[in-house]
Amino acid sequence: MSRILKAVIVLAAIVAVATPAMAAEFAFHGDLNNRFNLYTNHSEFYNTAGSLEKGVASTKKVGDKNTNTTWGDVKYRLWTEAKTNDGKVKGVYAIELGAMRFGRSGTGKSLGSGYSGDGLNIETRWAYTQFQVPGAASKARVTIGLQPYKVNSFLWAETAAGVKFTADNYELAWMRGRELFNNTNGGSLESGDSLSARVNLKPAAGVKLGLFGLFQNQNAGGAGAIDAGKYEVKSLGDIDMTLYSFGVDGGLTSGDIFVKWDAIYQNGEFKDATFTGLNGTATGDFDLSAYLLHVDVGIKMGKSRLTFTSWYASGDDDDNDKDLDAFMSTDVDRFDSIVLFEGGYTDDNYGTERPYLLNKGLFLNKLAYDHKASKKLKFGAAVLYLMTAEDIEYTDDNSVAQSNSDLGIELDAYVSYKLYDNVELALNGGYLVAGDAMDAFEIDRNGNADEDIMRITSRVRYKF
């Protein structure tokens, strides 16, 4: 047993024994997720997290023949909560055993459980303190530390470290995603600092409306790199940048009909940088102007639900200029596609976590059907049509210039059954009939997509 896990157990025991003296309540929770990749015909596409996010030099991922494989892993999250009896103060600490693969051994992060036990797999997931503002309403609270943080599901929705203030209908936050320790006479907020504000409104019955803004600033003091394959704020590294994001989100419910929406506009500047794309490079100062539009429209029909989802993330049509037109997320997880995104239950192995590919954006259309057959059983299916917002341009292996946006048609399905109230057995699968734009990600590029991608995953999940 690792020293970290021993320390957590000892701490939990001390808190449990000391609870009466501290006039506090103590709780212990868990999410024990056992996952299996039952089958994929392209294991090289799923041999890592974010196979399409490793930079343009690593875009060739899909082989020219089937490479079938099966694996299992566990992803466990355990957390403790200690709060005062009046609920005004709460402390949370969480650990995660991340994607321990059966049979994989060695040292490093998230390696596995081979002979003689696991490698180094434990990480801190959350560590924060939350308290009610003295003299304020009960919902006016401050949260300090490593905490769940969400600006918008397409923009930034992950764990982050900082300080957040929330009240009845608004939120203010300062988060620091990267520290650049200042040894010069520069300003104090020049690391990867972010300031966000949100207001949540209910202008009418059944209507929710959110207004938000995110300001991100970083001054690394030197030249930086922007890689089309790493087109995300958290992957930019030490680069000078200023980025503004403004948006609205919300939803409407009227009887059995529901609508959800997101609209985000971005404007920013990246200084003294080098951009590398599939079809060119550029150096200097870059201006960003981009946007994302999303809508869900659905209807409930008894125990069934039909949902149409569409979003458009703007892309960049020229890798050689200094205008960045592609929408840029900070840190998100998207599960809308089982094949390309994190929709498979072994979601530490995926193509991309972002709502776009490279710097070319995405135009996604999805029709999904869900049915709840009983309290224990539910199932569903979906069809997706995927294309990039701008053509993926590259030179194939025959030195022929190619340009295409068609990623293909994907067919997904799932079934979930509750063995017990808190134990789920689930199975899902996806099949991508590849469009010719997927040729850009094939090991043998000839201008035509030659390989469809199939993936079947399952899980047994215990939550308490």
In 3D space, the residue among 98, 94, 96, 86 whose CA is nearest the CA of residue 28 turns out to be: 94
Residue listed under structure tokens 């799932």: 414
Q: Is the pLDDT of residue 48 over 60?
A: yes
Taking only the tens place, the pLDDT of each residue in 254-268 is 999 999 999 999 999
**15, 26 contact by CB (below 8 A):** yes
Strand partners, 395: 401
Q: Residues near 422 by Cβ (< 8 Å), separated by ≥ 6? A: 462, 463, 464
Provide mean pLDDT across the span 206-216.
Answer: 98
Pairing of strands 207-218, 240-254: antiparallel
Residue listed under structure tokens 């981009």: 290
pLDDT band at 189 (very low <50, low <70, confident <90, very high): low
Taking only the tens place, the pLDDT of each residue in 408-432 is 999 999 999 999 999 999 999 999 9
CA angle, 238 as apex, 235 and 239 as ends, to 5°? Answer: 95
**440, 59 contact by CB (below 8 A):** yes
Question: Could you tell me how far CA 268 lies from the centroid of its own chain?
Answer: 22
- DSSP secondary structure code for residue 273 in this structure: E
In 3D space, the residue among 217, 219, 258, 261 whose CA is nearest the CA of residue 238 turns out to be: 219
What confidence score (pLDDT) does residue 14 get? Answer: 45
CA distances from 174 to 249, 324, 393 (A): 21, 26, 38
**58, 44 contact by CB (below 8 A):** no
In 3D space, the residue among 107, 105, 127, 108 whose CA is nearest the CA of residue 116 turns out to be: 105
User: Mean of the per-residue pLDDT values for the chain?
Assistant: 92
Q: How many CA atoms lie within 13 A of 148 on its CB side?
A: 6
Taking only the tens place, the pLDDT of each residue in 129-187 is 999 999 888 899 999 999 999 999 999 999 999 999 999 999 999 999 988 866 554 55
* Distance in angstroms (rounded) separating the CA atoms of residues 430 and 380: 12
Taking only the tens place, the pLDDT of each residue in 320-371 is 999 999 999 999 999 999 999 999 999 999 999 999 999 999 999 999 999 9
Taking only the tens place, the pLDDT of each residue in 436-449 is 999 999 999 999 99
Compute the CA torsion angle 227, 233, 235, 241 (nearest 10 deg). 70
Q: 276 is written with which tokens?
A: 């590398």
A 10 A CB-CB count for 165 gives 15
In 3D space, the residue among 408, 371, 416 whose CA is nearest the CA of residue 388 turns out to be: 408
DSSP 205-270: TTEEEEEEEEEEEE--SS-EEEEGGG-SGGGS-S-EEEEEEEEEEEEEEETTEEEEEEEEEEEEEE
In 3D space, the residue among 151, 144, 148 whose CA is nearest the CA of residue 125 turns out to be: 148
* Distance in angstroms (rounded) separating the CA atoms of residues 59 and 50: 11
